[in-house]
Structures are given as C-alpha cells and as structure tokens.
Amino acid sequence: MQVKKAIFLDKDGTLIPNIPYNVDPDKIHLESGVVEGLKLLVQQGFDLYVVTNQSGIAKGYFSEDDIFVVRDALKQLFEINGLPPFKAFYFCPHHPNGIVSRLACTCNCRKPMPGLLQMAAFDHQLSLTHSWMIGDILNDIEAGNRAGCKSVLINNGNETLWESGPYRTPYSIASDFLNAAESIVSHLTNEQHGYGNIGYSTAI
Ligand SMILES: [Mg+2]
Ligand SMILES: [Zn+2]
C-alpha cells in the first residue's frame, strides 16, 4: 500500500492573514504564494490538512459554529483557486485560562503539542515521518517535530520570541508560502537522487 503523506497547515498567519480571533469570513483571503505553493505540494502527492489553535472558543470569544463558518470560507477559497479540498480541518478549542469550563484545560492538542497531527494521522492512516508541518511560529514547528514530521517556518514577522528548545528547530526557514513549498520539493528531489538534505538545509 502506498504511503499516505500530509502537509499540515497552520491557518492564521500561514494560509490567511493573522487577525487575532477573527471569525468574519469576509476578512479571510489566501496569503501570497499559497495557491502556487499548495499546487506544487499536491503535485508531489501530499494531502492537505489544516491544524489550528482556536483558544477563542475556550475564552468565550466565539463558538465552534463560528469556526465551521471560517472552515467553510477557507474551503471555498481553495475551490475557487483550483486547489483540491483539504482532507480535514482539525482545531484545538482549549485554553488553560479559558472561561468555558469544559474547555479550560491543558490539553495535548494545543500547538506546540502534537495532538492535532496525531489525531489526523490516526483518522487517515498517515505516515507522519513522510509528512510536513508549515507554520509561521515556532510553536507550529515544535508540534510538527514532536509528531515526527519535518517542519518549515515561514518567517513573516509573526514569530517574535524565538524561544529555543529541543523540538523548535525548523528543517528550513522560508520567506513566504511558495518558498516553503519549494524547500519541501527540493528535499524530496535531493532524497530521490540520494543526496539526503546535504547542501540544502537552511535550518538554524
Ligand atoms: Mg499561525
Ligand atoms: Zn486542545
């Protein structure tokens, strides 16, 4: 059976602009390079999964239904841009300081923890070692690396703390989404030619 491999996509600041706690579908559009980058990745046989922290639910700022509206708006943007649909949309509704009591907890699915990726892998029989995480902050990188994926950071200014840690080194750092996708494709090409990632990795 062929290996099923995923690209795990952070949403805010990666696929769409980072507007904290926004659930207004009219404010959602794809960031530059996303359409071109996703097309490259789909050509390489990856399926797409969205993995997003939505602590605004635990904090009582919006409901799960509001997130489904966002998910559907994103789905529509993929469709009108000729992209295949993402296979699933996983979100963490929790936050330890939330006011919605059933969601006010420490969980294993809020990035930097890997729970959302592990859930996707379980539900869809994905090979995590063949999968990648793309995000705009090091918490995305940590979640991807903890899950056993490789992870690419888009350095668009959203990461400001650069807190280091054992899982917080990206495979590469990209200037935008297209550049992130190209870095993954280069890795695969080098691997096919037996070079590993020697001479390409721009990891810090
Ligand atoms: Mg983000
Ligand atoms: Zn969670």
Tokens in use for 63?
A: 């409901």
| pLDDT confidence band for 48 (50 / 70 / 90) | very high
Q: Tell how far the Cα of 133 is from the centroid of ligand 1, in angstroms.
A: 12
pLDDT digit string, tens, across residues 135-188: 999 999 999 999 999 999 999 999 999 999 999 999 999 999 999 999 999 999
Sheet with 172-174, side-by-side order of all strands: 88-92, 47-53, 6-9, 132-135, 150-154, 172-174
Q: Which residues in 103-135 are b (16+ Cβ under 10 Å) and which e?
A: beeeeebbbbbbbbbbbbbeeeebebebbbbbb
Catalytic positions, written as ranges: 10, 12
| Band of residue 193 on the pLDDT scale cut at 50, 70, 90 | confident
Q: How far apart are CA 22 and CA 132, in angstroms?
A: 26
- What is the C-alpha separation between 180 and 189, in angstroms, rounded? 14
Ligand nearest to the CA of 113: 2
Phi and psi, residue 199, nearest 5°: 85, -5
Ordered by where they begin, the domains of the chain are 6-192 (3.40.50.1000)
Backbone φ and ψ of 9, nearest 5°: -115, 120
The rounded Å distance from CA 10 to ligand 1 centre is 6
> Average pLDDT in the 99-106 region?
98
